[in-house]
Amino acid sequence: MKKIARPVIIAGNWKMNKLRDEAKQLAVAVVNGVKGLEEAPEVVLCPPFTSLSEVAGAAAGSRVGVGAQNMEYRESGAYTGEVSGPMILDAGASWVIIGHSERRQYYGETNQTVNLKLKAAISHKLLPIVCVGETEDERESNLTDSVVKRQVAAALEEVSAEDLSSVVFAYEPVWAIGTGKTCESAEANRVCQLIRATISGLYNSKSLAELTPVLYGGSVKPANIEEILAQSDIDGALVGGASLKKEDFLSLIKAGQARQAVSAG
């Protein structure tokens, strides 16, 4: 296995699940689970906005990070229903997921809004997890590589090399999300390498690309995490369904810990 100084990140995207009490309970369980672990991976919990400050309170002072699932790129004003970067920070979160495929599919997000949101996140010093990935139709039409390359390049437009250092990517093939179908790990690794090669080309710097964490997401669960994390270019997981159950998520964190120990060793 490779030994590159990239962190292992296990992030839970709770999507539109959990009321505040349940969210707090799960956050406390995760915080307690991570407490005793040496070489713990970076753990990030992304609850709905309504539970953000509750979860941030539970995670305060621990090694568990907290993130929003989306953000508005403008700072304030007449944008009914939106939540801005300063509001996310004010709720106690320091991460934000940007361009999740459910946002792209159901809420009209485009490569352009993803770019605006990424630049806004960076300007507010939020740590962004940028999601890219092809649909089933695109995969069947052999468009995976061109779609992913375009998404990565568009997201990073006008993002400086210096700012890239805070950006995390997640390869999430849309057809593997919430479907129980995982992308074959070697193929997921190939696309994660492609993401890195795209970054390397954009910045004309192999070393910058080597330092950018790339996660995999799409039906990650305890039964497949080890194989996924054993891949050379996958640095962790963005997890939906399995992040909602304490036992499952803690077991993913333990797999991340084992991988972290190997990378550090």
Q: Where do contacts with ligand PGA occur on this chain (CB under 6 A)? A: 13, 172, 177-178, 217-220, 238-242
Q: Give the residue with the Cβ less far from ligand PGA, 202 or 213.
A: 213
Least distance (Å) between residue 131 CB and ligand PGA: 7
Neighbours of 180 (CB within 10 A): 9
Least distance (Å) between residue 102 CB and ligand PGA: 7
Least distance (Å) between residue 24 CB and ligand PGA: 22
Rounded CA separation 150/194 (Å): 11
In the residue annotation, 100 being an active-site residue is answered as: yes
Identified catalytic residue from 42, 72, 100, 134: 100
Rounded CA separation 236/225 (Å): 9
Point out the residue whose Cβ comes nearest to ligand PGA.
240
Beta bridge partners of 127: 95
Q: Give the residue with the Cβ less far from ligand PGA, 27 or 228.
A: 228
Identified catalytic residue from 54, 134, 138, 172: 172
Neighbours of 66 (CB within 10 A): 27
Least distance (Å) between residue 204 CB and ligand PGA: 31
Question: Strands 236-239 and 64-68: what pairing?
Answer: unpaired
Least distance (Å) between residue 175 CB and ligand PGA: 10
Q: Give the residue with the Cβ less far from ligand PGA, 58 or 252.
A: 252
Long-range interactions of 159-167: CB distance < 8 A, separation 24+: 159/115, 159/118, 159/119, 159/122, 161/203, 161/205, 161/208, 163/122, 164/199, 164/203, 164/208, 164/212, 165/208, 165/211, 166/122, 166/125, 166/127, 166/128, 167/118, 167/122, 167/128, 167/130, 167/212
Neighbours of 224 (CB within 10 A): 17
Q: Give the residue with the Cβ less far from ligand PGA, 213 or 218.
A: 218
Neighbours of 64 (CB within 10 A): 25
Q: Give the residue with the Cβ less far from ligand PGA, 33 or 67.
A: 67
In the residue annotation, 172 being an active-site residue is answered as: yes
Any idea which residues carry the catalytic annotation?
Answer: 100, 172
